[in-house]
Chain A
Amino acid sequence: MSTERTVRFSLNGRAVKAHVASHESLVQVLRDRFDLFGSRESCGQGLCGCCTVIVDGKPVSGCLYLASFLDGTSVQTIEGLAPADDRLDPVQEAFIEAGAFQCGFCTPGFILMTKHLLAENRAPSDDDIRHYLTGNLCRCSAYPEIVAAVKLAATKQRGG
């Protein structure tokens, strides 16, 4: 029986390992083993995006992803996004400047998804943004500001 295993992976650029049970999800392991609380389980169904984590360069729902599948992967969380302790990623800056949140619970998910949207599409339209972010819910309903933040981030990343 293999109800438990040790997984080795890269977490925000650092080689780590964790002993995980077969039923544990990625978001549980990040919170319980690594004290990374930026991704959080909210809807628990893959709909809201609060548990967004980047695995091998792709956003996934951490609450629907078995931690056992992490072996050999490269994982990035919101905690690993800022390039230095005293500097933020342009997407993070844009969300602050545009006031794109109230309570902030959903913000890590929105920021990680935006990072990936902009990697695929340097100048997304409002429609592109709304489509890409359909799987992220902001219960404070800061959507107009979020769309503005994504556009601001796109401008910053293009160096404008």
Chain B
Amino acid sequence: MRPFDLVEPATLEEAFHLLEGDDPAVRPIGGGTALMLMMKEQVFRPVRLVSLRHLAPQFGAISIDADHRMIRFGATTSFSELEHSAVVARHLPVVVRTMRTLANVRVRNVATLGGNLAHADPHLDLPPVWIALGAQIVIENPAGPRIVPAEDIFEGYYETNLRHDDIIREIRVPLNASQRASYVKITTRSAHDWPALGIAVRLEMKDGLAHHPRIVLSAATNKPTRLVRTEALAHGQPITPASLRELGEAAVSEADIASDSRGSADYKKHLLRVHLGRALHALALEE
């Protein structure tokens, strides 16, 4: 690694000023866990890193709206703050469960939610969960803030449509007391390897029928991807062996899955059939 300009602005305006221009070697830095790896490998050689640490008073809180309709996560919140938050455990247990197999204690203590989104590695665990939960991302820009659905950020393998001077400020997750959600991380080599696929599902059950399901596939695809046709098919269906087989086939025909070192496309399709079925079944049985 080589020296670079490291700056720690205390206000958003200063941060924008320091990010000005279009040099790709000028970037924000959250926890730095992804950037450090890229810098050590020399795939990224920064000219300047703009640390968001000192924005934490505005950017680092987890809060719930008074009417309990939405939880807001500041972008500089660390994974471990999420993991140990009583509010999150109570209202979004799926997020806390996801932490159990996400990285390790030390990385969770440092890596931030904003960095996790912007990094856009398709193997990451939280993006599919955010998408399944219908999260909205608040993005600050010198031209003004905007709010976009989480799935709209991702363009492809390590690619987002975030602009050079965009700073992720907040992740907003709508709450719904009758929703059930789960995330399954399927690794094919060792337990702490990157997943061959990740499946995030949320739905409501009404009179034994699945309602408003959201089904997101990650890792096997080049970006976390909603399986919208499968979602539409599942809406209003009972969860039975026959419907699960049908939904598994629908998911496999909808998803664009490639072979890689974690398994052939055929193998991953089989994993998708089996694990999507199990996930839906488990959610249907949940109290």
Contact = CB atoms under 8 A, between A and B. Distances in A.
A22 B107 contact: no
Interface residues of B, number: 27
A3 B2 CA distance: 10
Given A23-B39, A64-B37, A135 B103 contact: yes
22 contacts: A3-B5, A3-B6, A44-B40, A46-B33, A46-B37, A46-B103, A46-B104, A47-B104, A49-B106, A59-B106, A61-B110, A64-B32, A64-B36, A64-B107, A65-B32, A65-B110, A66-B6, A66-B32, A69-B32, A69-B51, A132-B105, A134-B191
Contacts, number: 79
Nearest to B34: A64
A25 B40 CA distance: 11
A59 B107 CA distance: 9
A109 to B, nearest CB: 9
Contacts of B274: none
A146 to B, nearest CB: 15
Contacts of A131: 100
Contact of B6 (A2, A46, A63): A2
A52 B3 CA distance: 23
A46 to B, nearest CB: 5
B110 A60 contact: yes
A46 B106 contact: yes
A113 B4 CA distance: 32
Interface of A: 1-5, 21-23, 25, 44-47, 49, 52, 58-61, 63-66, 68-69, 113, 116, 131-132, 134-136
B199 to A, nearest CB: 21
Given A45-B37, A64-B110, A66-B32, A135 B105 contact: yes
Interface of B: 1-7, 32-33, 36-37, 39-40, 49, 51, 53, 80, 100, 103-107, 109-110, 191-192
Contacts of B192: 47, 134-135
A22 B4 contact: yes
B4 A61 contact: no
A87 to B, nearest CB: 27
A106 B159 CA distance: 36
Contacts of A65: 32, 36, 110
Nearest to B78: A58
- Across the A-B interface, the 10 shortest Cβ-Cβ residue pairs: A135-B104, A23-B1, A22-B6, A3-B3, A58-B109, A64-B36, A61-B106, A1-B5, A21-B3, A59-B106
